[in-house]
Amino acid sequence: MTEELRLALVVSDTPKAMAAAEVLANDHPWVPLEEADVVVVLGGDGFMLTVLHRMLDAGRVIPAYGLNHGTVGFMMNKPKSTKHIATRVAKASKLAVAPLEMTCTTWAGETQHFYAINEVSLLRETRQTAKIEISVNGKVRLAELACDGILVATPAGSTAYNLSANGPILPMGSGILALTPISPFRPRRWKGAIIKDNATVEFRVLEPDKRPVAAVADQKEVRDIAHVRVAAHREHTLTLLFDRHSSLDERIFAEQFQV
């Protein structure tokens, strides 16, 4: 099985990752990404997101196995092992991750689409507090939220920006998303919501000329938005590969007991 597995190697441009790539160069007969069954990613979480987005944009998604040569490495595996890389990949556990699709319309009427693996964030552009209307499945749930911003986080992204904004940690496979306000001013007591991942969330920017808002899908930003629609994009579900006993769902579970 390991002999038949076609692996591509994608490497961050950091010195640490490039040094690791030199070590792995002769460990496997690597193939180009477009011919591979699995992509091995050397770098950190940010680079892993870049590679996953690259595949989503290209319309060809294959499983990704990350080796941490970055900082946190939440989505990655530990790099040290005496096992052949193809053996590690073949024995790895699979974790499905459904990205979000953000569809946003600007003041000028331009519509853009981007994917988010961690979260979609709306953020005020100026010193003026943003005012945002929130609808879920076509029904207005909050007529006006005055805030610095708001985000929709997946379980995979719930320990990132969402957690820093005091949002909940979501277990993988829970079928839910976190709707988390960022520095809410009014209503002060609204702490956010947990919604099913098949829900469609829409945001309408109020007073956009006076209170401009930007929308960010992971690493892609669109400024001066008027309306944003967020829904799960299941046509291209991503697959992350983890060594046994070190999967992302276990790490997310462990985060809930950090003190």
Residue 119 assigned to a binding site: yes
* 106 marked among binding-site residues: no
Host H or E run for residue 242 = strand 238-242
Confidence band, pLDDT 50/70/90 cuts, at residue 82: low
Does residue 98 register a pLDDT over 60?
Answer: yes
Q: Is residue 148 annotated as involved in ligand binding? A: yes
Q: What is the pLDDT of residues 148-166, one digit of tens each?
A: 999 999 999 999 999 999 9
* CB contact at 8 A, 208 and 87: no
Q: Residue 243 and residue 222: Cα distance in Å, rounded?
A: 36
What are the tens digits of pLDDT across the range 14-26? 999 999 999 898 8
β-bridge pairing 225-232 and 220-222: unpaired
How large is the average pLDDT for residues 23-32?
90
Confidence of residue 259 (pLDDT cuts 50, 70, 90): low
What is the pTM for the complete model shown? 0.86
CB of 174 closer than 8 Å to CB of 158: no
- Domain 100-232 is of which CATH architecture? Sandwich (2.60)
CB atoms within 10 A of CB 168: 16
- Per-residue confidence (pLDDT) for residue 170, from 0 to 100: 93
* CB 252 within 8 Å of CB 169: yes
pLDDT score of 247? 67
What contacts 154, CB < 8 A, 6 or more positions away?
97, 98, 99, 100, 116, 117, 118, 119, 170, 177, 197
Ligand-binding site membership of 157 (annotated) = no
CATH, range 7-98+236-255: 3.40.50.10330
Measured CA distances, 87 to 91, 244, 249 (Å): 6, 12, 22
What residue segments make up the domains of the chain, in order of their start?
A: 7-98+236-255, 100-232
Half-sphere exposure (Cβ direction) of 71: Cα atoms closer than 13 Å:
2
Residue 249 annotated to the active site: no
pLDDT digits (tens, 9 = 90+) for 164-175: 999 999 988 889
Residue 231 labelled as part of a binding site: no
Q: What is the CA radius of gyration of the chain?
A: 20
Looking at 13, 27, 45, 197, which residue is catalytic? Answer: 45
90 annotated to bind ligand: no
Confidence band of 248 (pLDDT split at 50, 70, 90): confident
Q: How far is CA 86 from the centre of its chain?
A: 26
DSSP letter at 73? -
Burial class (CB in 10 A: 0-12, 13-18, 19+), 71: exposed
